[in-house]
Structure 1
Amino acid sequence: MTAPCHGSGAVVEPPKGLNRIALVGSPNAGKTSVFNNLTGMRARTGNYPGVTVTRTLGVARCKGADGNTVEVSIEDLPGAYSLHPVSPDEQIVADVLHGKIAGIEAPDAMAVVVDVTVLERSMSLVAQVLALGKPTMVILTMIDELAARGGHIDVDGFSSALGVPVVAVVGSRGKGFGPLREKLAAPGQWQTAPVAPPRDDDEFNAWITSVLDAAKYRAPEPDSRSARIDKLLLHPVFGTLTFFVVMFLFFQVIFTVAAPLQDLVEVGIGWIGEAVGGLIPNDMIAGLVQDGIIGGVGAVLVFIPQITLMFLLIAILENVGYMSRAAFLVDRIMSITGLEGRAFVAMLSSVACAVPGIMATRTLPSSRDRIATSMGAPLMTCSARLPVYILLIGLLVDDTAKFGPFSMQGAAMFGMYILGGVSAMVAAAIFKSRVLGGELLPFYMEMPPYRFPAIKSVLLTMWDATKAFLRRAGTIILATTIILWFLLNLPTRTAEIVGMDEEQASAYVLDNSWAASIGKFIAPVFEPLGFDWRIAVGLIGAMAAREVFVSTMGQIFAAVDPEDPSTQLANAVWLDGPMAGTPLFTTATVVALLIFFAYALLCMSTVATIRRETNSWRWPLVAFTYMLVLAWVAAFAARHITLFFTG
């Protein structure tokens, strides 16, 4: 029996002397599942030299048929329908296989991953890879689905017709990998195609027919279950209504299910902060650890239940096959604006984070569409906005407020996501039609059959996304909250607070801190929106990461009232100026803050990504400026409209 491959992790470059095998295949063919099974790891990525398209590398140790263990380097290339590129991703695939990227050697062998349920359509890519004249094998995925839907293939006959090794696997369940691992152990023994596929169209079609005949290939019957479901979900009216119902229930679940868990996390973090702070004899260091580090980062971490649940639900929808249907539905709307469904796919990726969303624009063939989508994608409601929205909606809407069985807080969150989505599409459309121009290109996208999601795949997707959020909390947010703690507590005023009680002393130090000086300097810009200098400080911190606004508010109001900062936040008043003593977080102010965060580009990582993707400072500066101006104007209007209706 062949021993399994054992993953030894991702590498920047494969060690010298290893055979380098590239996985080639169209999107949704199952390449990443094959990669993960072979290397024993989830995808870990870096960038190709000089470009921002990602590459995924792993090293697999395989025991071959002779009993010897061999290490091979596996590279999961971006999905491509053809080696005649129409997008940056496909260009990279072609360049890698031809050895045209400086610093990256061409692979020694290639494994073409093909969804066997759509084999005829995939033969063009197979032929193009075979024509390169390198050792090649074909990996057939979805072999279980082919059989379940009445299809058939003679794998040995297919191999003989092509003249290269062919193996069949079920990537999602790790089945059929024994023969594949044996082949990987000895790529030097793979054949090259004895005769290159013909290039003439008529001869090429005849070649495909002869190969499929030799393989006794019978295409699977259409998935009747998926067809029945799609009659509803892809209907122009009922499908659109279903989409909105699904999204509405999505946010209802986030608020109703995660709220009790959030309370437990909040209590736990508070207990940890007090326990650790009590062990430190020095008051200043204890304050830094308890309020700055644990309290600051903890103010963001309390939203982990909502964020984890959101990523879980997104992973389920993706794995079930619903997200591609959503893209199809929205394509009808996008086409009116001059964009296409792939632009919506990039925007949908921005729900997790705008950075991967902007990177996903590489799949768009048109450079104008890539820029237009990048200008709109940051307006999608990302996970970084979620803690801010939860905090502000909690101040705006009572947690007991219901509309029938539905939470009004969940409805408010749904409204913010709708606002972000509509705004993103409108902004992208304006840039495309008024600034960039260009014709609408045809849109094609896989419509996979509905599948019961693999639990492991869903959980890994959820964990990877949550881990990325935690990494931000452990790096950017941690560093920013520490800096803010020093700004909020320095200069030291020990002599000036003698005789004051703890609450008075904390308030005095805060009001005379460096952060207060900075906040009061820029406060006039934000006063028309109803924001005082404390909110201005929070907006400065949010430039590093939007979530920092929450931790900044936590630190500021913990300094004012260490015992109960959340209550102090709800009861905060203006400290100075003509509005001194009046409530700070009024309904109008909270609405203005929500709108400001919906539109402002308070994320330097996104700015940097736009710079890398467009290879210019022009577009990130345009994005930052237009979104900041839009945020200020929209927040000003929202505040005054709210004041008009609320008095």
Structure 2
Amino acid sequence: MANSAETSSTPRTSKDTISNSAAPLPVVSSPTARGRVFRVALVGNPNTGKSTLFNALAGMNVRTGNYPGVTIEKKVGRCSVGDYSIELVDLPGTYSMAPRSPDEMVAVEVLTGEAANEPPVDVIVCVVNSTLLQRNLFLVSQIVELGKPTILALNMTDAAEARGLAIDVEKLSENLGVGAVPTSASRRTGIDELKAEIKTQLDRVANGRAAATDRERPLPKQFYAVCNELRAELVQRACTTESLNERNCSRTMIPDQYLIERMLLDRGGEAERRAIRRLGAAVLPAIAQAREKLASTCGDPTELECGARYAWAAKHLDGVVSRTKAKPRNATDWLDAILTHRVAGMISFFAIMFLIFQCIYSFSQFPMDLIDGATGLVADAITSIIPPGMLRSLLVDGVIAGVGGVLIFLPQIALLFFFLAVLEDCGYMSRAAFIVDRAMTIFGLSGKSFLPLMSSFACAVPGVMATRVIENRRDRFATIMVAPLMSCSARLPVYLLLIGAFVPATGVLGGWLSAQPLVLMAMYFVGVAVAIPVAWLLKKTLLRGEVAPFVLELPEYKIPSARVVFSRVWEAVREFVVRAGTMIFAASILIWFAGFWPGDHSRQFELQTQIEQLEVADVTTLDAAELEALHVEYRHVSSLLLTNSTLGKVGHAIEPIVRPLGWDWRIGVGAVASFPAREVIISTLGTIYSLGGEVDEQDDGLVAAMRASTWPDGRPVFTIPTALSIMVFFALCAQCVSTLLVIKRETNSWFWPVLSFSYMTVLAYVGAFATYQVGSRLF
């Protein structure tokens, strides 16, 4: 096996090269490059171990964020290699540098130096799967065309050896003209050698010797000739267009030479759309004319590229890979015979999913109870220190309730991402997506949408965050938009209260089934039934585009890396607390203020003080009667204050709107107050009906008060149609600020949460209206 530092200096001997004048590398005058941070980008196919290699190089010194102007997440790590400080960038996984999606466009723009507000990349580390070299070299052929210092990380060499494959690393390095280093990121082997090769390349960059790197040309000469003609045409158009004359006809408006080539090869791709954004739709005739000329001389561009690049890969792999023994039937083959089987695979899939969600439900309950208990202890401590008043109400009902509303999600999020990381790192995630893809395709989603949607039945917050496993932007956003339609656990208290109070426990189908569990099951089915046409409509309108090819690579099964798993869990938890948590907290404070102001709370605080004094004293029979009277007056005063608050006035204002649903203003206030979380409607109704805010769905007093509630003409407010109307509304509405703020975080735009809230509210209103109007005629 060759020393990578020596082989990296081997010059390329290709006859067809062209200077990369469009994006020259920077020349650093100082040999030591002190004070400068160099950029090293990791790029590779999905499932090549790129992220594991990134973690091995960067350690825990990692930050995450979004690329400027887009929603694609970037991961950046800082580390030192020799005397150099480097910024390690983990680019989105991609099978090709053909930018047909925003994440692929990010990789191209960062690597070509075209990304806005992103410094240029000094060295590219291309990570390949050693067991699938020929296919991975398709991407490598595109990377070396960029003309930048490149290193080939031959990852998973241990898996290649287990399959009986021997790779001549020295010859491969010589054939490609780049440094090649064998690694096994999961076993932490080859990491020091890779760092040494990165240092060698940085030495060249720092001394200016990397600027003369040439671009290899795997495609026919006629193709590059047409590209040059197209570039000249675009330059001419840019310098003669009136709108661009106002910008002094900057030549930087013309894309990089590599993106010019992608315009010809990828009809309707991101490179073409970028050219239209920069130069206007007037460039389309020039691009179409160039494509016609290319087709007449070289044939179909897609077939041309595929044939040329795979031929290039075969040529450079000649004599590089040999088989030392017959391919053994390993554990992956045995497992896939079961886990990807048409029948056994589906059974195994549902068994695994059931086990995961059972674990999330079972194991998260204890830490959630601890968090809830700790929140209660803090609230009690503040209550014992601060007398009744606005400050205590703010701290207890606003601050502590807001913090508790953030922290209560952490166990579910941590467990969900733990299982996601385990499934992904062991290799099963690709199999799961493959198994359910056919069913998900029916309503415009891919197999990778299944797990986020399933997790949304527990809580939509981790479900939305779990969509990060979906590479295609349109599929990911469509999944995000329908995930809140799955009935999460927060809706369950609402269902239980209304079903128990107003749905009779009568038998149906000859007494074999009870009406109550059937109604509960129907509420869960409503969201799923509505999600199908919504996803289909989104894929036909806002998220329309060419059907993304469902390309899957089934990697070798392996034991998950504990370091990788727990680092992903930590990142997910940290991001939720820091980013989404701060917004959830702020929203909780605003809702508290709307329910508190305006109003004179002096009598309420006075009653609260008297109640607390009696509760800590020895209660006699007389005192008990006095205490009960104080509680009654306190609840009455609290109800009046809430009614006259901003929140209450909103309820009265919207009563004409909610009357067709069978609701009065009290239910309207409950719906508005439940915006932070759906289950808040129960405590709000408890306050409105003078029972206090501590009631739950099993409170007999609340049920009795709701049954006794009447309209001014004496008709009961709550009937079976009214209860069904409320449940349908809550099954379809977006009454969860946590979910909306996480959607904002995941999409990096307010458009999508606003759209989610708007369309779900309209759906909920229409559904509740239809339910009440039809139900009123049946019952």
TM-score range, shorter chain: 0.7 to 0.9
**1:277–1:289: 8 Å Cα contact kept in structure 2?**
no
Classify the secondary structure of the residue corresponding to 1:73: strand
Structure 2 contact 682–696 (Cα < 8 Å) conserved: no
Partner of 1:521 in structure 2? Answer: 653
Task: Name the counterpart of 1:198.
Answer: 218
**Pairing of 1:277-296 with structure 2 (within 5 A):** 277-281=383-387, 283-296=389-402
* Contact 1:58/1:74 (<8 A) preserved: yes
CA distance in 1, matches of 2:519, 2:185: 40
Q: Could you tell me which runs of 5 or more consecutive residues in structure 1 were left unpaired when the two chains were aligned.
A: 1-13, 365-369, 399-408
TM-score w.r.t. length of structure 2: 0.66
- Paired with 1:446 and 1:247, the residues of 2 have a C-alpha distance of 21
For the residues of structure 2 that align with 1:586 and 1:218, how far apart are their CA atoms? Answer: 75
Distance 1:460 1:426, change over 3 A: farther
**Inter-partner Cα distance in structure 2 for 1:480 and 1:432:** 31
Alignment partners' CA distance in 1, 2:186 and 2:517? 34
- Please tell me whether the aligned partners of residues 346 and 361 of structure 1 are also in contact (alpha carbons under 8 angstroms): no
Q: Does 1:48 align with 2:67?
A: yes
| 8 Å contact from structure 1 (residues 321, 449) kept in 2 | yes
8 Å contact kept, 1:295–1:554: no
- 1:443 is aligned to 2:546: no
In structure 2, which of residues 145, 151, 173 is the aligned counterpart of residue 137 of structure 1? 151
Distance in 2, matches of 1:91 and 1:303, equals 34
Give the 5 Å matches for 1:32-43.
32-41=51-60
Residue in structure 1 matched with residue 480 of structure 2 by the alignment? 377
Q: Are positions 1:20 and 2:39 aligned together? A: yes
Contact 1:554 1:565 in 2 (8 A): yes
* Matching residue of 1:477: 584
Separation in 1, partners of 2:685, 2:585: 16
Distance in 1 between the 2:726 and 2:189 partners? 52
Work out which of the residue numbers 78, 98, 105 in structure 2 matches 1:84: 98
TM-score, length-scaled by structure 1: 0.78
User: Structure 1, residues 94-129: CA drift from partner, whole Å, max 9, x if none?
Assistant: 222222223323211111111222221101111211
Instruction: For residue 165 of structure 2, give the secondary structure of its aligned residue in structure 1.
Output: coil
Map of 1:375-414 to 2, 5 A cutoff? Answer: 375=478, 377-381=480-484, 386=488, 388-389=490-491, 391-392=493-494, 395=497
Once residues 632 and 58 of structure 2 are traced to their aligned partners in structure 1, the CA distance between those partners, rounded to angstroms, is 57
Give 1:64-79 correspondences, 5 Å limit: 64=82, 69-79=83-93
Query: Distance between the aligned counterparts of 1:568 and 1:179, measured in 2?
Result: 64
Distance 2:443 2:488 in 1: 28
Query: What amino acid is the match of 1:565?
Result: V
**Residue 113 of structure 2 contacts residue 120 of structure 2 at CA under 8 Å; is this kept in 1?**
yes
Q: Residue 767 of structure 2 aligns to a residue in which SS?
A: helix
Q: Which structure: larger Rg?
A: 2
Q: CA deviation at 1:482?
A: 2.1
How is 1:460-539 mapped onto 2 (pairs within 5 angstroms)? Answer: 460-471=567-578, 474-494=581-601, 501-513=630-642, 514=645, 515-527=647-659, 529=661, 533=665, 536-537=668-669, 539=671
What secondary structure, in the 3-state scheme, does the structure 2 residue paired with 1:512 have?
Answer: helix
Residues 334 and 341, structure 1, Cα contact 8 Å, conserved in 2 = yes
Answer yes or no: is the 8 Å Cα contact 1:59–1:71 preserved in 2.
Answer: yes
Residues 1:429 and 2:448 are matched in the alignment: no
Deviation at 1:316, TM superposition (A): 3.0
Name the Cα RMSD after superposition: 4.5
Distance (Å, rounded) in 1 between the aligned partners of 2:442 and 2:169? 45
**Which deviates more, 74-83 or 330-339?**
330-339
- Counterpart of 1:630? 763
Structure 2 CA distance for partners of 1:293 and 1:358, relative to 1, 3 Å: same
Aligned CA distance change for structure 1 residues 591 and 358 (closer, same or farther; 3 Å):
farther
5+ unaligned residues in a row in structure 2: which ranges?
1-32, 205-209, 221-303, 501-515, 608-628
Q: AA paired with 1:275?
A: A
Secondary structure at the residue paired with 1:60? strand
1:205, distance to aligned residue in structure 2 (A): 4.6
Cα deviation, residue 628, structure 1: 2.3
Structure 1 residue 225 and structure 2 residue 331: aligned?
Answer: yes
Q: Please tell me whether the aligned partners of residues 56 and 75 of structure 1 are also in contact (alpha carbons under 8 angstroms).
A: yes
Code of the residue aligned with 1:388 in structure 2: it is A
Using a 3 Å threshold, how does the CA distance of structure 1 residues 438 and 306 change in structure 2: closer, same or farther? closer
Alignment CA distance shift 1:330-1:161 (3 Å):
same
**Does the 8 A contact of 2:454 with 2:463 survive in 1?**
no
Quickly say closer, same or farther: Cα 1:193–1:411, change in 2 above 3 A: farther
Cα offset, 1:23, TM superposition: 1.1
Q: Of residues 425, 436, 454 in structure 2, which corresponds to 1:330? A: 436
Deviation at 1:558, TM superposition (A): 7.3
| Aligned pair partner of 2:362 in 252, 256, 265 | 256
> Per-residue CA shift, 1:157-181, capped at 9, x if unaligned?
4323323222233323433311222
Report SS of the residue matched to 2:152.
strand
Deviates more, 1:570-579 or 1:424-433: 570-579
Deviations 1:387-442 (A, max 9, x none): 513544665799xxxxxxxxxx9999999777655643432224445898766454
Equivalent pair of 2:428/2:557 in contact (CA under 8 Å): yes
- Give the structure 1 partner of residue 350 of structure 2: 244
Cα distance in structure 2, aligned partners of 1:245 and 1:411: 24
Greater mean deviation of Cα atoms: 322-331 or 353-362: 353-362
Which residue of structure 1 aligns with residue 313 of structure 2?
A: 208
Q: Is the 8 A contact 1:43 1:56 kept in 2?
A: yes
Q: State how far apart, in whole Å, the 2-side matches of 1:416 and 1:118 are.
A: 48
AA at the equivalent of 1:479:
A
Residues 147 and 215 in structure 2, CA contact (< 8 A), matched pair in contact too? no
* Counterpart-to-counterpart distance in 2, 1:585 and 1:472: 40
Query: How many residues of Structure 1 are paired with residues of Structure 2 in the alignment?
Result: 606
Q: Could you tell me which amino acid in structure 1 is paired with residue 630 of structure 2?
A: D
Equivalent residue letter for 2:490: V
Aligned counterparts of 1:127 and 1:171: Cα–Cα separation in 2: 23
| C-alpha distance in 2 between matches for 1:378 and 1:297 | 26
Distance 1:126 1:503, change over 3 A: farther
> CA contact under 8 A between 2:79 and 2:88: conserved in structure 1?
yes
CA contact (8 A) 2:467 2:476 kept: yes
Counterpart CA distance in 2 for 1:236 and 1:582 is 57
Q: For residues 589-627 of structure 1, what are the alpha-carbon distances to aligned partners after superposition, in whole Å with 9 as ceiling and x for unaligned?
A: 7765554344334555477579867xx96x877655443
Q: Is the CA contact 2:583–2:741 (under 8 Å) kept in the aligned structure 1?
A: no
**Displacement after TM superposition at 1:326 (Å):** 2.6
2:164 alignment partner AA: G
Q: Is the 8 A contact 2:39 2:121 kept in 1?
A: yes
Going from structure 1 to structure 2, the CA distance change for 1:133 and 1:562 (only over 3 Å counts) comes to same
Cα contact 2:709–2:717 (8 A) shared by 1: no
- How far residue 29 of structure 1 moved from its aligned partner, in angstroms, is 1.9
State, as a whole percentage, how many aligned pairs show the same letter. Answer: 34
Aligned to 1:404: none
Question: For residues 359-370 of structure 1, what are the structure 2 equivalents within 5 Å?
Answer: 363=472, 370=474
Structure 2: which amino acid aligns with 1:156?
E
Secondary structure of 2:186's aligned partner: coil
Change (3 A) 1:308 1:111: closer
Residues in 1 aligned to 2:215 and 2:540: alpha-carbon distance in whole angstroms: 48
Query: Aligned partners of 1:475 and 1:410: how far apart in 2?
Result: 38
Instruction: Return the offset for 1:136.
Output: 1.0
Distance in structure 2 (CA, Å) of the matches to 1:643 and 1:561: 29
**Which of 105, 111, 132 is the aligned partner of 1:118?**
132
Counterpart AA for 1:159 = S
